[in-house]
């Protein structure tokens, strides 16, 4: 009896002494030391009684001081080899593996969420952030014309003379190049079976200017430009692969649109060059490069058609570049425009390239960040739920002396570990996700080819996962550290686990608030997309097949021969079985391909005398007869072009936008437009067939007869309307054209609906992603709510059963339970409301036809959220309430 008390005292004494040792030693060896000493104590007690025991105590004190302090100075083992963290990690891992369902649920959620984040991050990073793959890309600028008061064109092409002027200006402008981007036909078999490629025609210094070298062969020599020299061509890596990836192609000749070009080089695989466009999206990446066959300095200064690319001297500040370019512009203005106010200005390469997609990508980035937040709260709630199940364990270990820090560390590690695993999963999902994204993404998405999940992106995603897990674990960790036996005993009166419920409720409120924001943003974007889809583009796209039939000058030099060739193409297409109408235009709707020029109608009633108002910039579209009928455009007044054409009269059909501009009350029929030195007589008015945006009118349009003019004449796009599915016509059309001349080909074969889909692909992708994020957030919030309500109902099942037994009716008890959930939802929605407002401001720029505070959308979102959330409350409530109350009470 006595002995046992002494031994207990000894143990207490020894535990105190053990404190002298560092924590690692104590954790690893502490118990063994105490047990060994207790053996010694018990032996001493038996042999020499209390005095002997005292001697052991004193000796233990001395021993602990000596070895404990010694151990602190020079640890016996490298405890830190895996360290406490390592050991905790192992324990955390083991604990997770013991709960495979929990782990699978957490890792699954994290993987999906972080995978979505990975895709968005990769896209945002590669498109908006990563530098372009040129030498010192920050010193590169495109240069544009701003016509100022002359006419309304703020971003026009340069004339060749402007480029020449920039080239000789010197100063901070180190190099300048002019660029044209055109579709050419290329054939390696003497002209037969050509393929269409995009060729950038440029000044010979382009590659030096960009700081890149061909992977095979050479680039252009400085004097390899101008007329009367053998034409040379440099292939892109992609085109070289398409032609069979034969290194010996360098030095051979290929047939390019009627001429023989010598291949002198092949660019490296990672080199992509996109010429920015003055209007509309940038052109497709170049397939090949060649140099101008004329001298830019001798071109027409009034004909703006070149993109100007300059490289500034190393590290020149942008303002200085703008000043230098502006100075060149003043010279040009004085010389070519008599000082009427034309100016030129530079735009940085990357901001210019990504300007169009920037707002959408930023919205997407925010949505992804929000999803991560919701995910984090969800993980926190799950960890908390888990921690609450281990409440006893925590409280007991706390009571036994485990310090709070250790418990915190264990919980935080658990979160971090889950985060890292989820991050790795997310990065893997991201790799495939990005591939899918790139496949879905619009072809004109800038820098599309560079979007991949690389190591840097993967590291960020895994880091984000780890951070998310750690942060999520902080709340449960703090809670776990506070768990004490007394609080446990107090709460066990209500059958275990109480304190965490408040925290979980707070988390559900946060989740609901975040989901409301994301859902409303998602709802608005989806609705905006729906508006786009419903927009009337001004023509009937169904059943239309379109194809371009380029007629190169070298192949058919005379315009009249080209026209008769087009008549044969027209006839051949019209004779295909099932075809009802055929026509052609140089610019199809939704392709932004028209020519622009000022529209002047002398004496029109709408003229105000204001120069800007009376000379609006309009789109001129050259069409063959029957175009308006074939496209299914709506004729408002007058007539369309008919088959009879008179050389003496040049006809025009205008759109309603133009008619309203110049003839607000009367009819424009019979009025004439000054165009290229002759007069166009207006014979009809149509609804605008939109060229740029599906949902709103663009510039005023003037349709002219393709036969009357030479612009766009050699690249007419034929439209074929038929009763057959348009895709089934392609093979027939191809062979019909080939039968006319094997050197002809059809290119850009697309149905009109495909053209529209492509024009909408960016919005579609955005809507799908944001909608997906929003639904994900909703699902996560519902899961959180489900967890809280089912926890609360389980805890209160005695009380609820008692109420039922005492006569409360089922519906009333159900309302009690659901009311609890509804309160949380209400709070969440209230807290989220300002966020909805802020998000509305953020996405305003990407919305079309929907106000950011669109009541219908917001009410629908609120209703949808409430229904889902209520279901998440109802299901667990029913599960518990359906148990016979008598059984519940017995348990």
Applying CB under 8 A, which residues contact another protein? Answer: 21, 25, 28-29, 31-33, 35-37, 39-40, 59-60, 62-64, 66-68, 70-71, 76-78, 81
Q: What does the alpha-carbon distance between residue 756 and residue 228 come to, in Å, rounded to a whole number?
A: 43
186 within 8 A of 253, measured Cβ to Cβ: no
Which residues, 6+ apart, have CB-to-CB distance to 625 below 8 Å? 583, 640, 641, 642, 643, 645, 705
Q: What are phi and psi of 602, to 5 degrees?
A: -65, 135
Q: Smallest distance from the beta carbon of 9 to another protein, in angstroms?
A: 17
Nearer residue to another protein within complex by CB, 31 or 340:
31
The length of the chain in residues reads 891
Q: Smallest distance from the beta carbon of 395 to another protein, in angstroms?
A: 22
Q: Smallest distance from the beta carbon of 13 to another protein, in angstroms?
A: 13
Nearer residue to another protein within complex by CB, 37 or 306:
37
Q: What does the alpha-carbon distance between residue 850 and residue 200 come to, in Å, rounded to a whole number?
A: 40
Q: Smallest distance from the beta carbon of 11 to another protein, in angstroms?
A: 13
Beta strands of 744-884 (E only): which ranges? 747-751
Q: Residue 216 belongs to what H/E stretch? A: strand 216-217
* Residue 20 DSSP SS3: coil
Nearer residue to another protein within complex by CB, 70 or 190:
70
Using the CB atoms, write b or e for 600-625: b if 16+ within 10 Å: bbeebebeeeeeeebbbbbbbbbbbb
Nearer residue to another protein within complex by CB, 68 or 259:
68
Q: Smallest distance from the beta carbon of 22 to another protein, in angstroms?
A: 11
The region, left, alpha or beta by phi > 0 then psi within -120 to 50, assigned to residue 434 is alpha
Q: What does the alpha-carbon distance between residue 782 and residue 170 come to, in Å, rounded to a whole number?
A: 65
Nearer residue to another protein within complex by CB, 28 or 757:
28
C-alpha distances (whole Å) from 403 to each of 96, 474, 484, 648, 843 are: 22, 16, 11, 100, 49
Q: Which of 404, 109, 432, 452 is nearest to 270 (CA)?
A: 452
Which DSSP category does 67 fall into?
I
Q: Of all residues in the chain, what percent are helix, strand and coil, respectively (each to 5)?
A: 55, 15, 30
Which DSSP category does 139 fall into?
G
Q: Smallest distance from the beta carbon of 8 to another protein, in angstroms?
A: 15
Q: Smallest distance from the beta carbon of 519 to another protein, in angstroms?
A: 55
Burial class (CB in 10 A: 0-12, 13-18, 19+), 851: middle
Nearer residue to another protein within complex by CB, 66 or 154:
66
Q: Smallest distance from the beta carbon of 454 to another protein, in angstroms?
A: 40
Nearer residue to another protein within complex by CB, 9 or 66:
66
Structure-token match 């001297």, residue found:
313
Structure-token match 């309500």, residue found:
789
Q: What does the alpha-carbon distance between residue 112 and residue 775 come to, in Å, rounded to a whole number?
A: 13
Q: Smallest distance from the beta carbon of 63 to another protein, in angstroms?
A: 4
780 within 8 A of 109, measured Cβ to Cβ: yes
* Residue 352 DSSP SS3: helix
Which residues, 6+ apart, have CB-to-CB distance to 733 below 8 Å? 545, 547, 573, 576, 720, 746, 749
Nearer residue to another protein within complex by CB, 91 or 602:
91
Nearer residue to another protein within complex by CB, 21 or 157:
21
Nearer residue to another protein within complex by CB, 59 or 252:
59
Nearer residue to another protein within complex by CB, 14 or 565:
14
Q: What does the alpha-carbon distance between residue 152 and residue 149 come to, in Å, rounded to a whole number?
A: 7
Q: Smallest distance from the beta carbon of 23 to another protein, in angstroms?
A: 14
Q: Smallest distance from the beta carbon of 405 to another protein, in angstroms?
A: 23
621 within 8 A of 704, measured Cβ to Cβ: yes
Q: Smallest distance from the beta carbon of 77 to another protein, in angstroms?
A: 4
Nearer residue to another protein within complex by CB, 39 or 612:
39
């Amino acid at each position: 009896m006595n002995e046992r008390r002494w031994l207990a005292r000894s143990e207490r004494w020894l535990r105190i002494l053990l404190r002298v040792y560092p924590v690692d030693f104590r954790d690893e060896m502490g118990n063994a030391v105490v047990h060994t000493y207790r053996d010694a104590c018990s032996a001493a007690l038996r042999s020499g009684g209390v005095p002997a025991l005292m001697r052991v105590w004193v000796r233990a004190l001395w021993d602990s001081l000596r070895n404990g302090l010694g151990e602190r100075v020079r640890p016996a083992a490298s405890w830190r080899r895996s360290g406490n963290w390592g050991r905790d990690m192992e324990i955390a891992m083991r604990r997770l593996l013991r709960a495979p369902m929990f782990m699978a649920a957490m890792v699954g959620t994290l993987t999906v969420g972080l995978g979505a984040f990975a895709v968005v991050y990769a896209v945002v990073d590669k498109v908006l952030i990563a530098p372009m793959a040129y030498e010192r890309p920050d010193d590169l600028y495109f240069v544009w014309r701003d016509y100022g008061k002359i006419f309304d064109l703020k971003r026009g092409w340069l004339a060749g003379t402007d480029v020449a002027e920039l080239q000789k200006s010197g100063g901070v402008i180190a190099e300048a190049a002019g660029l044209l981007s055109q579709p050419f036909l290329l054939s390696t078999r003497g002209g037969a079976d050509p393929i269409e490629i995009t060729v950038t025609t440029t000044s010979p210094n382009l590659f030096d200017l960009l700081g890149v070298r061909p992977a095979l062969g050479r680039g252009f020599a400085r004097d390899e430009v101008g007329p009367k020299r053998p034409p040379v061509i440099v292939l892109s890596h992609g085109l070289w692969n398409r032609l069979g990836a034969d290194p010996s192609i360098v030095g051979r000749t290929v047939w390019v649109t009627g001429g023989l070009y010598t291949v002198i080089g092949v660019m490296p695989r990672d080199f992509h060059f996109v010429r920015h466009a003055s209007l509309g999206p940038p052109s497709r990446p170049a397939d090949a490069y060649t140099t101008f066959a004329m001298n830019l300095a001798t071109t027409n200064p009034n004909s703006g058609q070149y993109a100007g690319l300059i490289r500034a001297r190393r590290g020149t500040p942008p303002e200085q570049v703008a000043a230098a370019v502006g100075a060149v512009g003043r010279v040009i203005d004085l010389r070519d425009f008599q000082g009427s106010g034309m100016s030129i200005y530079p735009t940085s390469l990357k901001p210019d390239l990504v300007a169009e997609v920037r707002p959408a990508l930023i919205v997407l980035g925010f949505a992804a960040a929000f999803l991560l937040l919701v995910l984090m709260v969800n993980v926190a709630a799950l960890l908390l739920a888990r921690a609450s199940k281990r409440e006893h364990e925590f409280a007991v270990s706390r009571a036994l002396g485990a310090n709070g820090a250790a418990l915190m560390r264990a919980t935080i590690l658990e979160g971090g570990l889950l985060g890292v695993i989820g991050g790795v999963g997310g990065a893997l999902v991201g790799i495939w996700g990005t591939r899918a994204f790139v496949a879905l993404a619009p072809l004109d998405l800038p820098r599309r080819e560079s979007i991949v999940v690389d190591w840097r992106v993967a590291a960020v995603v895994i880091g984000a996962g780890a951070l998310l897990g750690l942060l999520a674990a902080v709340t449960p960790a703090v809670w776990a550290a506070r768990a004490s036996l007394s609080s446990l005993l107090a709460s066990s009166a209500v059958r275990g686990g109480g304190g965490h419920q408040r925290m979980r409720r707070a988390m559900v409120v946060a989740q609901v608030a975040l989901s409301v924001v994301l859902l409303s943003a998602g709802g608005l974007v989806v609705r905006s997309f729906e508006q786009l889809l419903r927009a009337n583009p001004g023509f009937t796209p169904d059943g239309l097949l379109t194809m371009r039939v380029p007629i190169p000058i070298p192949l058919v030099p005379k315009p009249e021969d080209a026209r008769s060739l087009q008549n044969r193409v027209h006839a051949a297409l019209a004779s295909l079985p099932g075809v009802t109408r055929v026509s052609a235009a140089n610019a199809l709707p939704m392709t932004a391909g028209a020519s622009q020029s000022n529209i002047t109608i002398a004496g029109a009633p709408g003229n105000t005398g204001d120069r800007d108002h009376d000379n609006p910039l309009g789109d001129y579209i050259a069409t063959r007869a029957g175009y308006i009928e074939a496209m299914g455009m709506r004729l408002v007044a007058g007539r369309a072009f008919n088959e009879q054409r008179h050389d003496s009269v040049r006809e025009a059909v205008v759109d309603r936008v133009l008619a309203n501009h110049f003839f607000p009350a009367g009819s424009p029929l019979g009025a004439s437009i000054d165009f290229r030195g002759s007069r166009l007589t207006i014979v009809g008015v149509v609804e605008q067939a939109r060229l740029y945006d599906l949902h709103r009118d663009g510039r005023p349009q003037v349709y002219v007869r393709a036969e009357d003019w030479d612009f766009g004449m050699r690249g007419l796009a034929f439209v074929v309307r038929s009763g057959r599915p348009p895709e089934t016509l392609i093979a027939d059309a191809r062979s019909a054209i080939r039968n006319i001349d094997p050197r002809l080909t059809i290119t850009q074969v697309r149905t009109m609906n495909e053209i529209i889909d492509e024009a909408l692909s960016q919005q579609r992708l955005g809507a799908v992603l944001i909608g997906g994020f929003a639904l994900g957030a909703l699902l996560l919030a519902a899961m959180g709510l489900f967890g809280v309500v089912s926890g609360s109902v389980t805890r209160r099942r005695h009380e609820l059963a008692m109420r039922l037994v005492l006569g409360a009716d089922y519906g009333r008890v159900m309302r009690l339970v659901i009311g609890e959930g509804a309160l949380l939802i209400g709070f969440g929605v209230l807290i989220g409301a300002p966020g909805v407002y802020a998000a509305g401001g953020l996405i305003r720029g990407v919305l079309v036809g929907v106000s950011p505070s669109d009541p219908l959308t917001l009410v629908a979102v609120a209703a949808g959220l409430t229904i889902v959330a209520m279901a998440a409350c109802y299901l667990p409530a029913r599960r518990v309430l359906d148990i016979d109350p008598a059984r519940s009470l017995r348990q």
